[in-house]
């Protein structure tokens, strides 16, 4: 049975992908992890970074003696999946990304971190602050936001994934984007799609950026069709 690992997004946790895991469990061996410093996994002294989170994937595989897996990544998790596949092409069968933001510069980073102000969230969005507190059981959610801001600023200065890296991704790839996503552009997704050696791209109808607002049944179907029909488009 194919092993597929699900990766969450920035300031997220694996629990957000549990419904998707249930939708895939009948046909795949599905695993969900928390990146270090997220959810139930305590942070250490290292700054957040894409290579750090990719090391979580590598550790997961090594602990379970897995030689090769497929990876689904939502948002930042999709970026991590692509980075991991570029560094360890021999370890990845397929990557599926949803709402992954691949283009980063200082202007983009400055815009994104405006939504990660803990004081403003506490004052204006107390319900969301409670969600973050409940989500990050092993850490102070405000520190999670702070370290995420630092990581995004670094990405803005020096995008971890270079344009030339995509050519080295041997895995089959499916790039998914919701047609209502206001955070990730069609252009940046299309650019990466064209740079990948073996890729498909699919727009999900009526799907905004938050994973909680994506039709999980539809998402599970598209992933399964891509995984099982190697010579056919995902949808």
155 within a domain of the structure (yes/no): no
Give strand pairing partners of 61: none
16 within a domain of the structure (yes/no): yes
Give strand pairing partners of 6: 32, 72
111 within a domain of the structure (yes/no): no
Residue 15 CA to residue 8 CA, distance in Å, equals 8
Which structural domain range is residue 71 located in?
3-103+161-228
Q: What is the pTM of this model?
A: 0.96
71: which residues sit within 8 A by CB, 6+ positions away?
Answer: 4, 5, 6, 7, 57, 81, 84, 85, 92, 94, 95, 96
For residue 84 the two structure tokens come to: 């991991």
Give pLDDT tens digits along the chain (235 positions): 899 999 999 999 999 999 999 999 999 999 999 999 999 999 999 999 999 999 999 999 999 999 999 999 999 999 999 999 999 999 999 999 999 999 999 999 999 999 999 999 999 999 999 999 999 999 999 999 999 999 999 999 999 999 899 999 999 999 999 999 999 999 999 999 999 999 999 999 999 999 999 999 999 999 999 999 866 555 5
233 within a domain of the structure (yes/no): no
- 173-195 burial code (b ≥16 CB/10 A, e <16): bbbbbbeebeebeeebbeebbee
146 within a domain of the structure (yes/no): no
Give strand pairing partners of 184: none
* CB distance 146 to 132 below 8 Å: no
CATH number of domain containing 176? 3.40.50.1820
191 within a domain of the structure (yes/no): yes
151 within a domain of the structure (yes/no): no
Residue 179 CA to residue 193 CA, distance in Å, equals 16
149 within a domain of the structure (yes/no): no
Q: How many domains does the chain have?
A: 1
What is the CA 84 to chain-centroid distance, rounded? 11
Secondary structure element (H or E) that encloses residue 32, with its range: strand 29-32
Give strand pairing partners of 178: 204
């Amino acid at each position: 049975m194919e092993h597929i690992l699900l990766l969450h997004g920035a300031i997220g946790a694996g629990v957000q992908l549990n419904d998707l895991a249930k939708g895939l469990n009948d046909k795949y061996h599905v695993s969900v992890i928390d990146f270090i410093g997220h959810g139930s996994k305590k942070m250490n002294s290292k700054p957040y970074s894409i290579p750090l989170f990719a090391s979580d994937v590598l550790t997961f595989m090594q602990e379970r003696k897995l030689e090769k897996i497929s990876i689904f990544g939502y948002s930042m998790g999709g970026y991590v999946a692509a980075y991991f596949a570029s560094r360890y092409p021999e370890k990845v069968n397929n990557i599926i990304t949803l709402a992954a933001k691949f283009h980063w510069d200082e202007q983009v980073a400055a815009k994104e971190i405006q939504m990660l102000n803990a004081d403003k969230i506490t004052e204006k969005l107390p319900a969301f602050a409670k969600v973050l507190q409940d989500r990050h059981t092993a850490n102070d959610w405000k520190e999670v936001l702070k370290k995420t801001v630092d990581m995004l600023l670094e990405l803005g200065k020096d995008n971890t994934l270079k344009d030339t890296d995509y050519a080295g991704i041997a895995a089959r790839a499916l790039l998914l984007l919701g047609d209502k996503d206001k955070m990730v552009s069609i252009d940046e997704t299309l650019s990466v799609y064209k740079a990948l050696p073996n890729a498909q791209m699919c727009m999900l109808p009526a799907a905004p950026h938050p994973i909680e607002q994506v039709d999980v049944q539809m998402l599970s179907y598209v992933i399964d069709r891509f995984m099982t029909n190697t010579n056919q488009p995902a949808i």
